[in-house]
Structure 1
Amino acid sequence: MNGMTTDQTVQSGPLNLLKAWRLHLWVFILTCVAEMIGSVSVPLGFATITIFPLVWGMLFGAAAGLVSTRVATPVSLRRPDVQAATIVIQAAVIMFVAKQSLLVGPLIPKLLSSGWALCFQEIGHFFGTVLLALPLALLLGIKREAIGATFSVGREQNLAIIGERYGLNSPEGRGVMAEYITGTVLGALCVSIVASCITSSGLFNPLALAMASGVGSGSMMAAAAGAVAAYAPARDTAEILGFAAASNLITTTAGTYFTLLVSLPFTVFLYRVLEPRIGRFRHGAARVTPTTAGTAVQEDGPLPFSSLVLITATVSIMTLLLGNWITYGVAPWAAMTGALCIILTGLAGEGLHRLVPLRIPSVLWVTMLGMALTAPYWPGARWFAACTQHVNFLAIVTPLLTYAGISLTRDIPAFRQLGWRIVVVSLSANAGTFIFAALIAQFFI
């Protein structure tokens, strides 16, 4: 939840976020355009790719950040605006997590009945990256960078694991940094395309693909789950998104320990086995210049609670006025109570994180609270579920990814240094985690 900037002039207080009016204006306009374009399906013969508003939002945000910061006009984005976008994402994600957990609560009985499918498909998330991407990396001539780039999807917790074990300036550190930046820039688009192709083939149960969507990254999960839901009947959308959210929660919470104790040792072992056999056909490693531009930023202390309230209110207004209304046809006044419930759930979870003297992440507090509020074991669950169902999950994600697209402007120089080989490997890892999880879930279903 905490965020910071490398720019000394940008701080996380409410005043600075209010001063970033250009940022919010751009996000509002770009999100509106993305939602008005809607979902665009591109037939490829053997399958169909569907590009969703959330993907348009990220692409438009990145383009606007690149162009606007280089053209001086009264409404052009400035560097502090780009840095503020990072703070907004890190704070507003509590709305995403709250809505995600509220989707999971009503499905607890079905999730329990799914049994081994939901449990064992997680193995695909953790081994799918290395089984597909590591051999490819070795064939392309990448050496120990391949370990960091393929043992996971390279989110913040995976950066910490490699940083502690090898150091981020090591070959393994450069590899995980490449995976982090590539996944941040292109991960959502990659899994959206893969999910669209596999879903349109009709070979998999939609619930198996929903479980596979929970790769451990919120944006990637939303993109993949949205692609799966687009091909299913409208009555099944809530169930698909709920299963995807549950899988993502498991991957996020248990994933840190699994990747540390199982995935990373397995990747190192497989590297030692394969590298002498297929790595020798390419001489020299693909070099990735050490950089810290793509690392998760930090700040001095947590974001003020007043800023959290301001940010969640801003994102909520965009959600109600844009995606929820334009794309899903729900009038803002009909969804206001649900939006307020989502905001209060997120803020309450963050408040528990700050008040309770236990080292429990705020995301986990929000998750437990949201699931408890809609679990079918108490009388108020039906009311909470009825209110919050009027706020569409994907409508929340589009403005968030538009902010993310703008924030990526600062990572473009580092991204250019990575080289095409490591980018291909990183995207293969992102695709592999979805594909292998889908195969396992399909087998058990």
Structure 2
Amino acid sequence: MAQNTPLAQEAVPTKQLITRKHWVTVIALSAIISVAAVLIGTHKFQLGPAAVVLFPIIWAVVIGGLVGTQRIRPLSGSSRAVATLLLEIGIIVFLARLGTQIGPSLGKFAEIGPAIMLQEVGHIFGTVIIALPVAVALGLGRVAIGATWSIDRESFLAYAIQKFGVRSGEYRGVFSVWLLGSLFGAVFISLLAGFLGGLDIFDPRALALGLGLGSASMMLGGVGALSLLYPGQAGEIMALAALSNLVTNIVGFYAGVFLSLPMCRGLYRFWSRVLRRDDDGRSTRKAEPKNRQAGPARAEKKVQLSVEIDPPLKITPKVTILAYAIVGASALLMNFAGTRNFAGSDVLGILVLLLLTGLSFRLSRLLPSVPSSVWVLAITTILTAPFLPTAGLVAELTQHLDVILIGLPALTLIGLTVGRDIGALRSLSWKIVVVALLTYSASFIAAAALGQLVLGV
């Protein structure tokens, strides 16, 4: 998360202590907002021929974001540090539950195996082909490369820092797309998925494949919207999206570094010549001295992207156990609030998911090149595969746990941590916002279109 990653050129350090009050504040706010989102419920309305679905995930992020950025009683950096820890655990618990739905369905996906692999081509090249020329035309300069070679998740951000440096245009592009995706990606993709699903152009399975963007929160948002539009196929949609996301997490980074980035840099030079733009985004049609002098100043101004660094949270065994207990209790609370049902097996099911989450974090520390999200999806998929004796037991313990509901608190926490990045958000140009949204859209739609082609529907 942000406080553990060198995300910006200028960080604002804080010297706050983390106390019990901060834990209580985050737990209370998260529970209240998540329950409120469930009570608000789902609302669907037509926008022309398409449907727009507003459902609890969206309410949770929006309300959490409003609370996280308000200035009447602002959320402190210490509270955000607690929220970030709970978020990191909560999102992996969600993926663990999602993985338990993949294993039982592995046999069904044999016939669409090529579509799962081909969607990665859409993620890699859709952004470069569609979004890059727009970014160059808008005058982003070398920022366009970082903004369009992928949807820029954490691994791409770290690579950009090492490859280009924090004062480069490429890094500014990566940072901006990462930031916008982290804060608003889930809401945007859920709205886009609902809109496309309502048009009846794509098979819902193709749209599910397109949701494997490499971002758990974006996938969760899109899955929620499609599941409401196609309730009869909800299980298949969730499993396909998770499997697609697993493929993206495994091969997406390497494909992006060795295929997408070289292609993006080559096409950037091509479009810069065609559109007559220099590396600062200025037009070369009229290279007046006044413009040449103003350009560097404008470019330098764009560099000022900063996020506030929250106080470090010391992770002791006691803190770890407490965090896991809070995440588990929150998941059970949301599941009960949404389903109005509670069974003893639900507690055991959550305990199993928490244990697998802890195992995944442990494995990711032993093998840092493989993130915990990949580990947890792989482990839960294997444990629930029909050929293993554990499949029946895991399925029985988790059958009443709604994957969307137990993932809801994590999305609420994303909203609550928005205040950390508000300074960087204010410094972003409207142009990079447009390009970021186009990048997400192009990646999703291109992958879905290729999936549709392979499915033959």
Given the two structures, how large is their TM-score scaled by the length of structure 1? 0.90
Contact 1:320–1:332 (Cα < 8 Å) also in 2: no
Unaligned runs of 5+ in 1: none
Per-residue CA distance 1:314-366 (angstroms, 9 max, x = gap): 122222222x2233343264522221221121123334445x57864433332
**Offset, 1:374:** 0.5
The answer on 1:122 being equivalent to 2:120 is yes
Q: SS at 2:53's partner residue?
A: strand
Equivalent-residue separation in structure 2 for 1:358 and 1:417 (angstroms): 33
Q: 2:132 aligns with which of 131, 134, 148?
A: 134
The answer on 1:7 being equivalent to 2:14 is yes
Structure 1 counterpart of 2:253, which letter? T
Structure 2 counterpart of 1:148, which letter? G
Q: 2:306 aligns with which of 289, 293, 302?
A: 293
Number of residue pairs aligned between Structure 1 and Structure 2: 432
Per-residue CA distance 1:239-286 (angstroms, 9 max, x = gap): 110110011111112111111101111111111111221254973688
Task: Identify the residue that residue 100 of structure 1 maps to in structure 2.
Answer: 98
Bigger Rg, structure 1 or 2: 2
Contact 1:217–1:248 (Cα < 8 Å) also in 2: yes
Q: 1:328 aligns with which of 334, 339, 362?
A: 339
The answer on 1:370 being equivalent to 2:380 is yes
Equivalent-residue separation in structure 1 for 2:51 and 2:191 (angstroms): 9
Contact 1:199–1:206 (Cα < 8 Å) also in 2: yes
Q: 1:146 aligns with which of 140, 144, 147?
A: 144
Q: 1:304 to 1:376 in 2, by over 3 A?
A: farther
Q: 1:88 to 1:138 in 2, by over 3 A?
A: same
Equivalent-residue separation in structure 1 for 2:406 and 2:179 (angstroms): 23
Greater shift in the superposed pair: 388-397 or 411-420: 388-397
Greater shift in the superposed pair: 194-203 or 96-105: 96-105
Given the two structures, how large is their TM-score scaled by the length of structure 2? 0.87
Per-residue CA distance 1:390-443 (angstroms, 9 max, x = gap): 111111221101111011111111111111110110011011111000000000
Q: SS at 2:254's partner residue?
A: helix
**Offset, 1:118:** 0.8
Contact 1:50–1:227 (Cα < 8 Å) also in 2: yes
Unaligned runs of 5+ in 2: 6-12, 284-294
Contact 2:43–2:55 (Cα < 8 Å) also in 1: yes
Q: 1:246 to 1:308 in 2, by over 3 A?
A: farther
Q: 2:329 aligns with which of 311, 317, 326?
A: 317
Task: Identify the residue that residue 249 of structure 1 maps to in structure 2.
Answer: 246
Contact 1:57–1:402 (Cα < 8 Å) also in 2: yes
Structure 2 counterpart of 1:55, which letter? I
Alignment of 1:40-439 (within 5 A): 40-67=43-70, 70-72=71-73, 77-234=75-232, 236-280=233-277, 283=282, 287=299, 289-291=302-304, 293-294=306-307, 303-322=315-334, 324-331=335-342, 333=344, 335-354=346-365, 360-439=370-449
Q: 1:135 to 1:31 in 2, by over 3 A?
A: same
Contact 2:305–2:427 (Cα < 8 Å) also in 1: no
Per-residue CA distance 1:85-112 (angstroms, 9 max, x = gap): 2222123332123222222222222233
Aligned residues with identical type, % of pairs? 32
Equivalent-residue separation in structure 1 for 2:204 and 2:211 (angstroms): 10
Greater shift in the superposed pair: 183-192 or 271-280: 271-280
Q: SS at 2:52's partner residue?
A: strand
Greater shift in the superposed pair: 130-139 or 190-199: 130-139
**Offset, 1:53:** 0.8
Contact 1:92–1:308 (Cα < 8 Å) also in 2: no
Contact 1:214–1:251 (Cα < 8 Å) also in 2: yes
Equivalent-residue separation in structure 2 for 1:166 and 1:55 (angstroms): 35
Task: Identify the residue that residue 37 of structure 1 maps to in structure 2.
Answer: 40
Structure 2 counterpart of 1:24, which letter? I
Equivalent-residue separation in structure 2 for 1:357 and 1:203 (angstroms): 42
Structure 2 counterpart of 1:188, which letter? A
